[in-house]
């Protein structure tokens, strides 16, 4: 993971004996629950979803081995719900690696004991984009679209005229594609483009 | 000494005998913890444990009455054994102030421990009882011999006479050494705690006990250990400080006994901490050897050495 | 006054045996035996209050001295309890159908024992002794199982050779000393022995000693005990272990000690025999897994205790002074232990019988979990077990403790070592009775779910004894008066017992213990949460009945440790068996020889096997035939002379010869 | 998470078939001539051998008839020259979807010569069983090592080992119905039926009684059920029933996870030797994907493996001391161990379950300041352990308990193909770190270390073996730090080849861990077989127990360092979470299908 200068300094200076009020001599045990134990900075604690950064692309959900991260669609209310359950988490930090926006933030928290399981669950709800034409909800969120807008270079947008088509349902897109193909028949190039595009977008989604 | 003083000393004795043993165990825990580089529990942790156990209901594995009563009888006999010991030079309740009686009354703790273990249909507690019995079986003859030496040395089995009438001979010194060993075995410290071995037979005779009854049994065992130690300490001190005439001197003696008892326990704890548990056949072998050593000592005593 | 009625009751009981129906016959005769035993106790009280009495019972000169009072007490207590118990117990032998045999034999047994300890004439002593042996022998094979019959034959032949013959020889010696049958009373013999040469004394004493050692199963003559007691019905075993052995002790005291007189070395010998016996007997018992054999070996061991005590007495009393006092204490302790042993050992046999009555086996490896259903039996067995292991406040503790005291303070290495052995053995006793109790009554087994408690009379019989263990333990003062025939300096009153400053106050102890127990019980009342089966580590489907340690496995390591001892013992036993075998051959030879004397056609008998082949009772006739015939002829030849005389005449020649040889 | 860049990188990556040794074009003769013994075997069973191929470097596979299976296995196991060759384990696979047959494939670790990497190799004996009659002749009565293996395939796949000496149920719970075989492909991984429990146990010998040790016993950390038939204290006979924590991880891995997710599952097979498992799995996948991971990654992996060995051995010796009531030893051993945990926590981010691996490399680099830390800790541990051993081995009572107890003779050890320190304490000279070619996954071939071997075979010998190994590991760690090369720490792996199989292995601190992986379509695992060392060691424990005390039992059982969870592997996903997962999975599937045709 990225290590800024101050961070590495911190790493170098970090001393367990200081941090946990150990004495170097006997006794080596600590009255643990009564003092708070500080984990080293490298420690992979419970990840935390930063709702500001999260775009709800679901990359983390793909990567997560134990299904601690779950994504659900709620087309009625136009909501895409990303649920993180620390009780199932194995702290492998794969989600942090794959997150495109760094919304999954590493922490050094390790105490998950609680009498109420709700405390272990983080839920982030995203508003789904809706189709400009038919007004029904799309499968991806506003933020995803924003993100795509930001990362894709302008010319690509123009080239594929994404600007006006990005917020459309599949069917609508299909229809338009067909129309477009009709307009420029005999020329397969746009269709090939489309395939490439989908790949790009798919990557983001 | 007039009765008031006697009463006072008896009261002191009773208080010591009832409240000290768990603290002694606490001391042992602390010492062990320090030897293992741990912080260890507070001194009164054993008291907390007992209180907790007293507060809990027990699980009932059998309908036998003996199962219910054994802990109480064990505790009662442990306490009566402790009451038979000299505090200062006062014996709180003198129902037979001599070696054999004391010894048998102490033995009753183990007897009822074993019987309790045998009331339930549980191989582990049976094993534990059998082990306890085999330890006693091998250590009692040794103790008998040593009592023989003491009796011969002082001319009587009566503890008053022994406490005053012992005279120092080589055989007596050896007797003290062996007696220390025998009492250590008898009180079931590591490495001789094979009867209650946790990892092998889950608690042995105690494996079926829980909650309050278990607490009572533990309390009985602590008091038994205390009684044996106190007995040894008195045997170590009383004969050599001459007749005790005044209450002041008696008080001094009591203080000495107390201090020595508290001072001996860390040694025991250290021994416990630095040893692994023995197997039953090891113990049998060791005790048999000790028995023959005792025979030699007895012969020496009778030859007047 | 009571003793005649007692004898009468016994005779009546014997006659009652001729009722057709087995059950009623047995019950009636047992009841009469019960009454007779009660009367014996009455006699004891009588003697205790107004001193020794001399009675002449149809020509039987009885002299109930204080010593015999002690043994009458023992016989009375045991007889009472056991007869009461037998009323129901003997039902399990109904299939044998010989009610009359039991009735006669059992009553004769009790009566003869009562006579043995009271008669004041050597010849009647011997006669009733023989009667006792014979009746006990008949009782031993009463069950008529093959193994039991073998045991009984072995028992009887052993008795004839190591008991009867020495007695007869001794009788002959006595006759040769006194010179008339009418004056064979003990004091005459005693006065005659005063003047007799030393080796005569030695022979006389030696012969008697052998006889009594055999009867009370002192090493090396303990070999017959285990098998015999196992074979006999439990009630009979109880009487044999409780009373018959003590009768031999009476012989030791009344004949050897009182008549021949004692010396330091003789005392040491007796004490040493006692020490060896208690070690051997108890260590063998530790290994046993058959309840009755275990108890039998323990009775050997406990007899060892008693002999140790008596031995200390015999050794030290002559010394007089402080040592004499200690000796008297030892002897007193021995007698006390005799009484206690009679009580708890018969109680234990009765509990074993009760278990047998319900489960049909006494094999400890198979038993278990009976405490749940036979509560009273279990509690009685627990009392008796604690008593025999010498746990205060039961009676066994006090006598053992006094033995230790006398042994430790005797100032003699040998005696002190005896006491040490005694202590070691009391641990072994505790061990084997923890096993005895734990395996029978501990745990809970489905196998014996439907077992019920035994009938009332059996419980009563057990509880008379079990109660006495506690009663005497708490109030030893009740019996010390009767027991203290050596006027030992036993300090204390009803509440205290001890010697010099070595005192023990059971009452105080019991009160203290009781107060503490109930105090703590009330202070910390046991509160049970849930009920649960014993913790079996959560394993699936284990056989509850096998989830335990069986009797064989209890002290396996310790037994391995002392394996050498056992091997030596077994070797010794083998040798003994060989000896017995040759003795038997000799007996057969002699029997046939007798027959040749009275030249009558005689069915050829060469070995015990031949005896056993024939009908059992008949087999015994075979064994006895020569004597019987001889006596009958003698009767024909010399009419008008008492038969008993001729019993003596029969063997007198041998006795006289030896006596003269000694005199030369 | 695979993206196009990775794919391109993968395509540039040129084939190292010749060194790496999985060359599709290799012909039988050249294969047979590669290693000693192969040709002899081929000659011996000519007419029964249907095929022969090189799976990957140093792993050979013969396809033989099932009739000669026992002979073939014994031919290798009792090979006169290759003394330490042993039956590692066997894989049962349901290949009906592929070729309509079941496959039963025992494989052996052939040790031509100790510590001779290029010469030693693995032999897989693949046999095809008919779908309607999956029976094969049992080798168990001649070779006890096969006892559990055959019972396992009987349980999980419904194979029928003909005249198996002890055909009781081994793995599945008592209340699992007959005729339902979890590892068959036609069974869904969420399906867990229940019937009336029926148990089958050994008969009790005459006049003994029963002492059940476990499932929940103080002397056993994890559920395992030893039935001791005892005479008093003495153990006469023993029966074992385990797999109370069977968790069907293989099914889970095959069922739904991608190969990179399986890696993390593999790491969680065991709480103690997790990293060994993850390295083995990664190694297997890399082998079959034909990837050489960067040297730095290999060194980091080896470093962590050795650190894990160090703290495991300390943990074990602590437990051994605890079992005989020597708690001071216990506490001190664990105190000495603790700094390793802290160190590892700093290196990888966790005390255990390092999560350090990824197929194709490692995830975190070792920075220089951490190297200092490591050396410091190593020094500390070395001193600490030295003093600890001085004390412990001079504790008379401890030695009394450990010496001459639980003796396992060499012959028995070989017959049960016991592994690891347990085997080395009985005089077996085996160690896959040196024996088998590890050079593409770990760095053992480039550092120097000894393999301690003792002949006594009692508990004390096992203690000493482990302690010697511990010091060796410390020395290895220092070398690794010293020689660690620079460079990249992982190579991305894109798509896996389909239906390739390979074996990954490491020498865990209990013996060789073996992961057999066979890939399926779209980066899924078709068959994944895990064999932990305890799986081979545990069947030998009853042999060790017989004739000793009940008091020794916990120590003896602990002395093989049993890890039941390793042996018994992960539970079925419980139904609820399974449902949740399925929901989302289904959605993802349909979504991806939708997005295929975007625009």
Question: CATH no. for residue D45?
Answer: 3.30.460.80
- Output the pLDDT for position C515: 92
pLDDT at residue C601 greater than cutoff 70: no
Closest CA to C345 of C434, C238, C246, C435: C238
Asked if the C-beta of B34 comes within 8 angstroms of chain A's C-beta atoms, the answer is: yes
Cα–Cα distance between D317 and D319 in angstroms, integer? 5
Say if the Cβ atoms of D213 and C537 lie within 8 Å.
yes
Angle at A42 (CA atoms; ends A37, A45), nearest 5 degrees = 65
Residues 6+ apart with CB under 8 A from C420: B141, B144, B145, B148, B298, C407
- Output the pLDDT for position C54: 85
Read off the tokens for B61.
Answer: 């594995």
- Output the pLDDT for position C620: 45
The rounded mean pLDDT for chain D is 84
* Cβ neighbours around D166 below 10 Å, total: 14
pLDDT at residue C619 greater than cutoff 50: no
Read off the tokens for D161.
Answer: 């080992």
Task: Choose from B68, B93, B144, B299 for mutation: most chain C CBs within 10 A.
Answer: B144
Asked if the C-beta of A170 comes within 8 angstroms of chain D's C-beta atoms, the answer is: yes
Residues of B in Cβ contact (< 8 Å) with C438: 114-115, 118, 126, 129
C10 vs C578: which has the higher pLDDT: C10
* Cβ neighbours around B225 below 10 Å, total: 24
- Output the pLDDT for position B157: 82
Residue D210 within a domain: no
Closest CA to C186 of C285, C272, C258: C258
Average of pLDDT values for D351-369?
A: 87
Nearest CA to CA, how far is D462 from chain C (Å)?
27
Q: Are the C-beta atoms of residues D339 and D322 closer than 8 Å to each other?
A: no
DSSP codes, D25-69:
T--HHHHHTTSTTHHHHHHHTGGGEEEEEEEETTEEEEEE-GGGH
Q: Are the C-beta atoms of residues B196 and B188 closer than 8 Å to each other?
A: yes
Nearest CA to CA, how far is B259 from chain D (Å)?
27
pLDDT tens by residue, B227-254:
999 999 998 888 888 777 788 888 888 9
Residue A187: band (very low, low, confident or very high) from pLDDT cuts 50, 70, 90: low
Residue of A nearest to D596 (CA): A198
Q: Are the C-beta atoms of residues C240 and C267 closer than 8 Å to each other?
A: no
pLDDT tens by residue, C623-658:
555 555 555 554 454 444 444 444 444 445 445 555
Cα–Cα distance between D306 and D279 in angstroms, integer? 12
Task: Choose from A1, A44, A195 for mutation: most chain D CBs within 10 A.
Answer: A44
Say if the Cβ atoms of C553 and D216 lie within 8 Å.
no
Cross-strand pairs, C498 = C491, C503
- Whether there are 3 or more C-beta pairs closer than 8 Å between C and A is no
- Output the pLDDT for position D451: 93
The dihedral of CA C151, C153, C155, C157: what is its sign?
A: negative
Read off φ and ψ for residue D595, nearest 5 degrees.
-65, -15
Tell which of D200, D233, D263 closes a domain. D200
Kindly list the residues of chain D whose beta carbon comes within 8 Å of any beta carbon in chain C. 174, 197, 199, 201, 204, 207, 209-217, 225, 227, 230-234, 241
- Output the pLDDT for position C590: 67
Residue % of chain D over a pLDDT of 90:
42
Give the SS3 label for residue D108.
strand
Read off the tokens for C453.
Answer: 């408690």
Q: Which of C169-183, C342-356, C580-594 has the highest mean pLDDT?
A: C342-356
- Output the pLDDT for position D52: 86
The dihedral of CA C549, C550, C553, C554: what is its sign?
A: positive
* Cβ within 8 Å of D, A 99-138: none
| Least confident residue range of A120-124, B189-193, D7-11, D421-425 | D7-11
CATH 3.30.70.3270 holds for A39-128 = yes
Sheet with A121-130, strands from edge to edge, namely A69-74, A79-85, A121-130, A137-141
pLDDT at residue C567 greater than cutoff 80: yes
Asked if the C-beta of B132 comes within 8 angstroms of chain D's C-beta atoms, the answer is: no
Residues 6+ apart with CB under 8 A from C431: B133, B134, B136, B137, C286, C554, C555, C558
Closest CA to D382 of D421, D340, D346, D418: D340
Say if the Cβ atoms of A26 and B34 lie within 8 Å.
yes
Cα–Cα distance between C157 and C134 in angstroms, integer? 11
H and E: helices and strands count for chain B: 10, 1
In this structure, are D394 and D519 located in the same domain? Answer: yes
Residues of A in Cβ contact (< 8 Å) with B45: none
Residue C616: band (very low, low, confident or very high) from pLDDT cuts 50, 70, 90: very low
3-state SS string for D398-434: HHHHHCCCCCCCHHHHHHCCCCHHHHHHCCCCCCHHH
Cα–Cα distance between C196 and C200 in angstroms, integer? 7
Average of pLDDT values for B93-111?
A: 88
Cα–Cα distance between D552 and D230 in angstroms, integer? 13
Residues 6+ apart with CB under 8 A from C391: B104, B107, B108, B111, C397, C430
| Least confident residue range of A12-26, B186-200, D135-149, D569-583 | D569-583
pLDDT tens by residue, D56-111:
888 899 999 989 999 999 999 999 999 899 999 999 998 888 888 999 999 999 99
C41-to-C70, C75, C81, D35, D289 alpha-carbon distances in Å: 10, 8, 12, 100, 102
Domain of D59 in residue numbering reads as 16-200
ipTM value > 0.95: no
Strands A104-105 and A79-85 come out as: unpaired
Read off the tokens for D338.
Answer: 């603790």
pLDDT at residue D23 greater than cutoff 80: no
Task: Choose from D210, D229, D244 for mutation: most chain C CBs within 10 A.
Answer: D210
Cα–Cα distance between D423 and D357 in angstroms, integer? 29
Kindly list the residues of chain C whose beta carbon comes within 8 Å of any beta carbon in chain D. 365, 536-543, 546-550, 552-557
Cα–Cα distance between B176 and D251 in angstroms, integer? 68
- Output the pLDDT for position D179: 85
Cα–Cα distance between D355 and D363 in angstroms, integer? 8
Residue % of chain B over a pLDDT of 90:
46
Cα–Cα distance between A63 and C157 in angstroms, integer? 95
Residue D598: band (very low, low, confident or very high) from pLDDT cuts 50, 70, 90: very low
DSSP A188: -
Say if the Cβ atoms of B36 and D401 lie within 8 Å.
no
Residue C610: band (very low, low, confident or very high) from pLDDT cuts 50, 70, 90: low
Read off φ and ψ for residue D241, nearest 5 degrees.
-135, 120
Residue C534: band (very low, low, confident or very high) from pLDDT cuts 50, 70, 90: confident
Average of pLDDT values for D236-254?
A: 83
In this structure, are D94 and D178 located in the same domain? Answer: yes
Tokens 């009271």 identify what position? C118
- State the DSSP H helix or E strand holding residue C491, giving kind and residue range, or none if neither: strand C490-491
The dihedral of CA B40, B53, B277, B137: what is its sign?
A: positive
Cross-strand pairs, C453 = none
Cα–Cα distance between B188 and B113 in angstroms, integer? 13
* CA B188 to chain centroid: 8
Cross-strand pairs, A84 = A69, A122
Residue % of chain B over a pLDDT of 70:
100
pTM of this structure:
0.86
* HSE toward the beta carbon, residue C178, CA cutoff 13 A: 22
pLDDT at residue A190 greater than cutoff 60: no
Residues of C in Cβ contact (< 8 Å) with D204: 543, 546
In this structure, are D437 and D505 located in the same domain? Answer: yes
Residue of C nearest to D205 (CA): C546
Q: Are the C-beta atoms of residues C580 and C154 closer than 8 Å to each other?
A: yes
Burial of C351 (0-12, 13-18, 19+ CB in 10 A): buried
pLDDT tens by residue, C74-92:
999 999 999 999 988 988 8
- Virtual CA dihedral for D193, D197, D198, D203, nearest 10 degrees? 130
Q: Are the C-beta atoms of residues D248 and D568 closer than 8 Å to each other?
A: no
- Output the pLDDT for position D577: 32
Asked if the C-beta of B285 comes within 8 angstroms of chain A's C-beta atoms, the answer is: no
Residue D573: band (very low, low, confident or very high) from pLDDT cuts 50, 70, 90: very low
- Output the pLDDT for position C638: 44
Average of pLDDT values for C213-236?
A: 87
Say if the Cβ atoms of B38 and A31 lie within 8 Å.
no
Cross-strand pairs, D531 = D514
- Output the pLDDT for position C90: 87
| Least confident residue range of C119-123, D524-528, D539-543 | C119-123
Read off the tokens for A195.
Answer: 């395939």
Cα–Cα distance between C100 and D14 in angstroms, integer? 111
Q: How many domains does chain D have?
A: 2
Cα–Cα distance between D8 and B285 in angstroms, integer? 76
Cα–Cα distance between B212 and D302 in angstroms, integer? 54
- State the DSSP H helix or E strand holding residue B238, giving kind and residue range, or none if neither: none
Residue of A nearest to B34 (CA): A27
C574 vs B8: which has the higher pLDDT: B8
Number of C to D CB contacts under 8 A, please give it: 59
The rounded mean pLDDT for chain C is 82
Residues 6+ apart with CB under 8 A from C439: C364, C365, C367, C368, C550, C551, C554
* Cβ neighbours around D400 below 10 Å, total: 16
Say if the Cβ atoms of C434 and B120 lie within 8 Å.
no
Read off the tokens for B29.
Answer: 């825990």
Q: Where are the domains of chain B?
A: 3-302
In this structure, are D405 and D554 located in the same domain? Answer: yes
DSSP D552: T
Nearest to B58 among C503, C528, C537 (CB): C528
Residue of D nearest to C364 (CA): D207
Q: Are the C-beta atoms of residues C398 and C471 closer than 8 Å to each other?
A: no
* HSE toward the beta carbon, residue A148, CA cutoff 13 A: 24
Say if the Cβ atoms of B199 and D401 lie within 8 Å.
no
Average of pLDDT values for A84-95?
A: 88
Average of pLDDT values for D542-549?
A: 90
Say if the Cβ atoms of D331 and B202 lie within 8 Å.
no
pLDDT tens by residue, C369-391:
888 888 899 999 999 999 999 88
Residue of C nearest to D225 (CA): C539
Read off the tokens for B181.
Answer: 């060993």
Sheet with D225-231, strands from edge to edge, namely D209-213, D225-231, D234-241
Say if the Cβ atoms of A31 and B39 lie within 8 Å.
yes
Tokens 């088998």 identify what position? D436
Is the peptide bond between C220 and the residue preceding it cis, with omega within 30 degrees of 0?
Answer: yes
Asked if the C-beta of A203 comes within 8 angstroms of chain D's C-beta atoms, the answer is: yes
Number of A to D CB contacts under 8 A, please give it: 100
Closest CA to D233 of B123, B186, B205, C291: B123
Q: Which chains are adjacent to chain D, needing at least 3 Cβ pairs under 8 Å?
A: A, B, C
Cα–Cα distance between D42 and D25 in angstroms, integer? 19
- Output the pLDDT for position C418: 87
Closest CA to C117 of C247, C252, C256, C257: C247
Asked if the C-beta of D324 comes within 8 angstroms of chain B's C-beta atoms, the answer is: yes
Nearest to B123 among D210, D218, D401 (CB): D210
């Amino acid at each position: 993971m990225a290590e800024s200068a101050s961070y590495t300094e911190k790493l170098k200076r970090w001393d367990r004996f200081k941090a946990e009020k150990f004495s170097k001599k006997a006794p080596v045990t600590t009255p643990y629950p009564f003092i708070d134990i500080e984990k080293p900075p490298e420690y992979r604690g419970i990840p935390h979803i930063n709702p500001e950064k999260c775009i709800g692309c679901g990359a983390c959900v793909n990567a997560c081995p134990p299904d601690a991260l779950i994504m659900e669609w709620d087309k009625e209310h136009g909501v895409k719900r990303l649920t993180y359950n620390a009780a199932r988490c194995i702290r492998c930090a794969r989600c942090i690696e794959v997150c495109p926006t760094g919304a999954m933030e590493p922490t050094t928290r390790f105490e998950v004991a609680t009498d109420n399981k709700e405390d272990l669950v983080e839920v982030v709800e995203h508003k789904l984009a809706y189709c400009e034409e038919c007004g029904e909800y799309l499968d991806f969120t506003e933020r995803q679209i924003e993100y795509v807008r930001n990362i894709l270079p302008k010319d690509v947008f123009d080239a594929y005229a994404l600007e006006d088509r990005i917020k459309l349902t599949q069917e609508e897109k299909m229809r338009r594609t067909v129309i477009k193909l009709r307009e420029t028949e005999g020329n397969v190039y746009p269709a090939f483009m489309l395939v490439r595009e989908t790949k790009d977008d798919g990557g983001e989604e | 000494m007039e009765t008031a003083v006697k009463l006072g000393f008896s009261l002191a004795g009773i208080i010591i005998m009832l409240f000290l043993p768990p603290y002694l165990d606490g001391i042992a825990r602390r010492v062990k913890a320090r030897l293992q580089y741990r912080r260890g529990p507070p001194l009164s942790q054993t008291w907390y444990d007992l209180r907790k156990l007293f507060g809990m209901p027990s699980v009932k594995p059998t309908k036998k009455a003996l199962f219910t009563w054994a802990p109480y009888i064990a505790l009662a006999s442990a306490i009566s054994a402790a009451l038979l010991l000299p505090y200062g030079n006062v014996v709180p309740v003198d129902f037979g102030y001599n070696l054999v009686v004391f010894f048998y009354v102490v033995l009753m703790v183990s007897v009822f421990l074993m019987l309790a273990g045998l009331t339930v249909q549980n191989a582990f507690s049976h094993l534990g009882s059998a082990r306890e019995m085999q330890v006693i079986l091998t250590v009692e003859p040794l103790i008998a011999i040593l009592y023989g030496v003491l009796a011969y040395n002082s001319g009587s089995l009566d503890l008053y006479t022994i406490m005053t009438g012992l005279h120092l001979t080589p055989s007596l010194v050896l007797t003290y050494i062996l007696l220390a060993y025998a009492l250590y075995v008898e009180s079931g410290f590591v490495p001789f705690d094979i009867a209650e071995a946790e990892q092998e037979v889950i608690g042995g005779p105690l494996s079926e006990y829980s909650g309050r009854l278990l607490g009572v049994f533990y309390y009985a065992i602590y008091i038994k250990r205390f009684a044996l130690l106190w007995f040894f300490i008195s045997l170590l001190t009383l004969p050599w400080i001459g007749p005790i005439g005044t209450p002041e001197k008696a008080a001094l003696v009591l203080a000495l006994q107390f201090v020595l008892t508290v001072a001996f326990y860390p040694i025991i704890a250290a021994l416990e901490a630095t040893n692994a548990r023995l197997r039953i056949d090891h113990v049998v072998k060791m005790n048999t050897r000790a028995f023959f050593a005792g025979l030699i000592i007895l012969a020496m005593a009778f030859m007047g050495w | 006054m009571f003793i005649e009625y007692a004898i009468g009751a016994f005779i009546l009981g014997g006659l009652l045996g001729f009722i057709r129906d087995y059950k009623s016959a047995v019950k009636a005769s047992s009841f009469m035996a019960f009454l007779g035993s009660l009367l014996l106790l009455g006699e004891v009280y009588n003697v205790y209050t107004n001193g020794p009495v001399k009675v002449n019972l149809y020509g039987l000169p009885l002299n109930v001295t204080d010593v015999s009072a002690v043994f009458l007490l023992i016989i009375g207590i045991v007889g009472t309890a056991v007869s009461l118990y037998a009323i129901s117990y003997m039902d399990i032998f109904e299939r044998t159908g010989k009610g009359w045999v039991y009735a006669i034999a059992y009553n004769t047994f009790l009566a003869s024992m009562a006579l043995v300890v009271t008669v004041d004439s050597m010849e009647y002593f011997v006669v009733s002794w023989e009667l006792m042996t014979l009746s006990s022998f008949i009782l031993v094979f009463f069950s008529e199982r093959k193994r039991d019959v073998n045991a009984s034959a072995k028992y009887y032949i052993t008795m004839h050779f190591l008991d009867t013959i020495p007695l007869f020889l001794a009788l002959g010696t006595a006759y040769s000393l006194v010179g008339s049958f009418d004056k064979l009373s003990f004091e005459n013999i005693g006065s005659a022995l005063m003047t007799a040469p030393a080796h005569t004394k030695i022979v006389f004493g030696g012969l008697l000693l052998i006889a009594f050692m055999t009867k009370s199963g002192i090493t090396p003559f303990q070999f017959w005990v285990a098998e015999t007691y196992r074979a006999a019905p439990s009630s009979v075993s109880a009487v044999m272990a409780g009373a018959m052995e003590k009768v031999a002790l009476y012989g030791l005291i009344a004949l050897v000690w009182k008549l021949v007189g004692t010396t330091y070395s003789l005392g040491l010998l007796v004490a040493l025999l006692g020490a060896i016996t208690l070690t051997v007997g108890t260590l063998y018992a530790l290994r046993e897994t058959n309840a009755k054999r275990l108890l039998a070996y323990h009775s050997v061991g406990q007899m060892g205790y008693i002999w140790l005590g008596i031995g200390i007495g015999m050794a030290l009393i002559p010394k007089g002074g402080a040592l004499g006092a200690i000796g008297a204490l030892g002897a007193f302790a021995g007698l006390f232990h005799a009484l206690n042993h009679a009580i708890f050992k018969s109680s234990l046999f009765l509990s074993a019988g009760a278990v047998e009555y319900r489960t049909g086996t006494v094999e400890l490896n198979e038993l278990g979990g009976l405490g749940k259903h036979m509560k009273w039996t279990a509690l009685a067995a627990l009392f008796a077990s604690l008593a025999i292991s010498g746990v205060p406040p039961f009676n066994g503790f006090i006598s053992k403790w006094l033995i230790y005291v006398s042994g430790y303070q005797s100032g003699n290495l040998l005696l002190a070592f005896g006491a040490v052995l005694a202590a070691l053995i009391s641990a072994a006793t505790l061990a084997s009775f923890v096993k005895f109790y734990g395996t029978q009554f501990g745990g809970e087994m489905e196998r014996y779910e439907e077992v019920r408690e035994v009938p009332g009379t059996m419980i009563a019989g057990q509880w008379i004894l079990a109660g006495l263990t506690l009663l005497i333990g708490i109030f030893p003062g009740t019996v010390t008066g009767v027991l203290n025939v050596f006027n030992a300096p036993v300090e204390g009153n009803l509440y205290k017992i001890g010697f010099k400053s070595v005192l023990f106050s059971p009452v105080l102890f019991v009160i203290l213990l009781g107060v503490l127990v109930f105090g703590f019980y009330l202070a910390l009342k046991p509160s049970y949460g849930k009920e649960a089966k014993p913790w079996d580590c959560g394993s699936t489907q284990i056989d509850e009945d096998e989830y335990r340690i069986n009797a064989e496995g209890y002290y396996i390591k310790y037994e391995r440790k002392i394996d050498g001892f056992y091997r030596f013992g077994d070797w010794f036993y083998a040798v003994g068996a060989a000896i017995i075998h040759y003795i038997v051959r000799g007996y057969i030879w002699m029997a046939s020889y007798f027959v040749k004397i009275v030249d009558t056609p005689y069915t050829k008998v060469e070995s015990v096997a031949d005896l056993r082949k024939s009908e059992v009772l008949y087999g015994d006739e075979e064994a006895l035939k020569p004597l019987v015939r001889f006596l009958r002829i003698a009767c024909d030849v010399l009419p008008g002379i008492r038969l008993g005389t001729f019993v003596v005449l029969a063997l007198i020649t041998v006795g006289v010869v030896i006596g003269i040889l000694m005199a030369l | 998470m695979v993206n196009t860049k990775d794919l391109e990188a993968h395509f540039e990556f040129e084939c190292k078939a010749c060194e790496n040794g999985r060359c599709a074009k290799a012909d039988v003769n050249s294969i047979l001539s590669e290693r000693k013994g192969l040709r002899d075997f081929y000659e011996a069973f000519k007419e029964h051998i249907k095929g022969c191929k090189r799976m990957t470097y140093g792993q050979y596979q013969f396809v033989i008839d099932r009739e000669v299976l026992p002979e073939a296995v014994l031919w290798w196991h009792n090979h006169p020259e290759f003394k330490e060759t042993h039956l590692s384990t066997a894989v049962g696979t349901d290949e009906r979807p592929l070729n309509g047959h079941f496959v039963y494939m025992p494989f052996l670790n052939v040790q031509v010569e100790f510590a001779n990497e290029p010469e030693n190799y693995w032999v897989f004996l693949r046999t095809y069983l008919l779908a309607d009659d999956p029976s094969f002749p049992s080798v168990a009565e001649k070779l006890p090592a096969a006892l559990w293996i055959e019972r396992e395939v009987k349980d999980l796949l419904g194979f029928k080992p003909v005249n198996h000496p002890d055909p009781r149920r081994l793995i599945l719970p008592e209340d699992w119905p007959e005729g339902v075989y979890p590892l068959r492909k036609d069974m869904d991984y969420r399906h867990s039926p229940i019937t009336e429990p029926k148990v089958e146990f050994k008969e009790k010998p005459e006049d003994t009684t029963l002492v059940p040790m476990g499932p929940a016993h103080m002397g056993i950390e994890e559920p395992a059920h030893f039935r001791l038939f005892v005479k008093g204290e003495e153990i006469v006979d023993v029966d074992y029933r385990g797999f109370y924590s069977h968790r069907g991880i293989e099914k889970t891995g095959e069922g739904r996870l991608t190969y990179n997710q399986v890696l993390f599952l593999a790491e969680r097979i065991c709480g103690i030797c997790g990293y060994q498992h993850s390295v083995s799995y990664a190694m297997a996948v890399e082998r079959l994907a034909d990837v050489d991971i960067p040297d730095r990654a290999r060194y980091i992996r080896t470093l962590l493996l050795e650190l894990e060995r160090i703290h495991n051995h300390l943990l074990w010796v602590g437990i051994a001391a605890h079992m005989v009531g020597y708690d001071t030893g216990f506490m001190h051993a664990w105190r000495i161990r603790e700094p390793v945990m802290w160190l590892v926590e700093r290196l990888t981010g966790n005390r255990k379950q390092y999560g350090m691996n990824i197929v194709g490399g490692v995830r975190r680099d070792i920075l220089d300041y951490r190297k200092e830390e490591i050396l410091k800790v190593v020094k500390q541990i070395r001193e600490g352990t030295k003093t600890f051993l001085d004390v412990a081995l001079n504790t008379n009572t401890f030695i009394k308990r450990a010496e001459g107890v639980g003796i396992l003779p060499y012959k028995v050890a070989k017959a049960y193909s016991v592994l690891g320190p347990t085997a080395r304490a009985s005089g077996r000279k085996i160690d896959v770190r040196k024996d088998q070619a590890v050079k593409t996954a770990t760095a053992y071939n480039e550092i120097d270390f000894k393999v301690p071997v003792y002949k006594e075979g009692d508990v004390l010998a096992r203690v000493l073996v482990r302690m010697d190994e511990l010091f060796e590991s410390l020395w290895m760690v220092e070398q690794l730090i010293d020689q660690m090369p620079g460079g990249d720490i992982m190579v991305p792996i894109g798509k896996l080849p389909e239906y390739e199989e390979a074996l990954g292995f490491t020498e865990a601190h209990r013996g060789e861990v073996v992961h057999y992986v066979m890939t399926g379509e779209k980066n899924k695992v078709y068959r994944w077989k895990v064999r932990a060392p305890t799986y081979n060691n545990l069947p030998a424990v009853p042999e060790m127990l017989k004739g000793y005390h009940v008091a020794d039992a916990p120590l003896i059982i602990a002395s093989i360092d049993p890890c039941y969870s390793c042996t018994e592997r992960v539970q079925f996903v419980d139904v609820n979470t399974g449902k949740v997962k399925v929901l989302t999975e289904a959605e993802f599937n349909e979504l991806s299908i939708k997005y295929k045709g975007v625009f």
